[in-house]
Amino acid sequence: MRIDRYWKQAAAGLLAMMLLMTAGSSMNSFAMTDSQPFKAQGQALTSPDKIIIKDDQDNSQSAQSNQAAAVIQPAQSGGQAAEQSQAAEQSQTAGQAAGQTTGQAADASAGSSQAAASDQPVIQTKAQIAQFGEVSTPKTDASSLFGAGRLTMYANHNTSAQLLSVIIETGEGGLIVVDGGWTDNADFLLEQIKQKGGHVQAWLITHPDSDHAGALADILYKHNGEITIDGIYYSFHEDSWYAEKDQEVANMVSYLKGAFALVPQGTLHGDIVSGQVINAGPAKIQVLNKAYKTTSDFVNNSSVAYLVSLNGTNAVFLGDLARAGGAQLMADHDLSALKCDIVQLAHHGQNGVDYEVYKALRPSVALWPTPQWLWDNDNGGGAGSGPWLTQETKNWMVRLGIKTSYCIKDGDQVIE
C-alpha cells in the first residue's frame, strides 16, 4: 500500500511539472496541411524590449493575444525599429473594446454637426441612403470580376513600410482611389493615376494615418490641378480629439486640411453617413460607417469602411479598423447582407477586426496590404521573431476556406 501510494504521488508530481513547463509556451497555429494555401507555424509572438506593444483585447485571452502590436517598421538588420520619413503607426492605450453606437439614422442627423466640429469646410449634401444589401451592380461580363475595369493594389515602391493604396478602374475612364499611402508614395501614385486617364471620380479615405492619407495630401499640395478629382470622401473627428489621442495623427489631419483648402470646396465630402451611396460611373460605393470613437486603438478604430461594387463584384475595404470598431460595425449592421466577394484585410492583415467580421462578410478573395516582413512576422530575427498577429489572420482565412489571396509582398497586385 505504501509503494502504491508512492507511485501515485510520484505520477502526480510529474504531471504537475509537465503542466508548469508547458504553461508559458505559445499555442500552435490552427492545423493546416501542406496542400493548404498557408503554411502553419507555431510562432511565439513575444515583444522585443525595444518595441512598445499594447493591445485592446480582453485580458482573459492568451498571452500571445495580449502582446498584439501596432505595425512598426523593422530595421534592415538587428531588429531595431526603423525611423520612417512619416510617422509609423503607434500602438494605442489598452482597454476593453467598446464602440459608440452609430446607426444610420443617428449618422444622418449627426453629419452636419460633426462637419462643423471638425473645423473643416465641407459641402453639406443630401445623401442617398440605402440599406445594407441594396447596393449592387449588374454582372455584364461573366468572364472577369470587374468586367472592363480592374483593381490594382500597390506595393510600397519607396520603402519597405506598410501602406494601403488601391486604384479601381471602372472601365469607362473613371477611377476610384482608396487611401494612397505615405507622402513618399505621392509621385508614384500620381503617375499611376495619370497613366489611367487622370480622372478620379471618388477618392475614399479610410482614416488620417500617414501610411493611408499622406500621398493624397502631397498630391494636393504639390500637384494641384494635374489630375481631376470629383470627390474626396472622409469622416474625421474634431481636431481636439486627435490632439488628445495621437499628436502625430493630429499633425497629419492638420496637413490634410491645409491641402483640402486648395481644392474647390464642392470636392470635399466630410459629411458622409452610414449607408450613403456614391455613384462613380458604372460603379457604386456604399459608406458602411462614420468614424467611430472607441476606448482603445483610437485612430485605427476611427476607420471608415467602404463597399465598392463593379460588374456585380462587391469589394469591402476595412482600412485599419480594429476589434472594437469591427464589433461596433457588426452591432450596427448585418454584414452578411453585403454579399462581399473581396475583402481588404484590416490593419495590413494583423490585429485588425476579429474573425467574426470576416465570417459575417464571407468573402472568397482576400487582399493583403502586407509587406514581406509583416507577412513573415519578421522583426529582424527571421520569420516568427516579431510581435505581429499575421499568422492568426492567415489561419482565419484557411478556416473560412479562402483560397485566393493577393499580397503586396509580391509586388503590385492586379485583379481583372
Report how many domains make up the chain: 1
Q: Which domain holds residue 215?
A: 104-415
Share of the chain above pLDDT 70, in %: 70
**Grid cell for residue 10:** 510520484
Cβ count near 411 (within 10 Å): 10
Q: Is 125 helix (H, G, I), strand (E, B) or coil?
A: coil
C-alpha span between 257 and 250 (Å, rounded)? 11
201, part of any domain: yes
1 inside domain: no
Q: Cα dihedral angle (26, 27, 29, 32), rounded to 10 degrees?
A: 140
Q: 288: burial class by Cβ within 10 Å (0-12, 13-18, 19+)? A: buried
Q: Stretch 287-301: mean pLDDT, rounded?
A: 96
Whether residue 341 has pLDDT greater than 90: yes
Q: Is residue 15 part of a domain?
A: no
- 53 vs 6, residue with greater confidence: 6
The answer as to whether 239 is a domain residue is yes
- The DSSP output letter for 185 is G
CATH of the domain at 129: 3.60.15.10
The b-or-e profile of 322-345 (16+ CB within 10 A means b, else e) is bbbbbbbbbebbebeebbbbbbbb
User: Is 86's pLDDT higher than 80?
Assistant: no
170: Cβ contacts below 8 Å, ≥ 6 apart: 149, 176, 201, 280, 281, 282, 283, 310
The answer to the question of residue 38 being in a domain is no
Q: Residue 16 domain-assigned?
A: no
pLDDT of res. 127: 79
3-state secondary structure 258-299: HHHCCCCHHHEECCCCCCEEEEECCEEEEECCCCCCECCCCC
Alpha helical stretches, state H, 208-246: 210-222, 239-245
34 in any annotated domain: no
Residue 178 domain flag:
yes
Arithmetic mean of pLDDT over the chain: 79
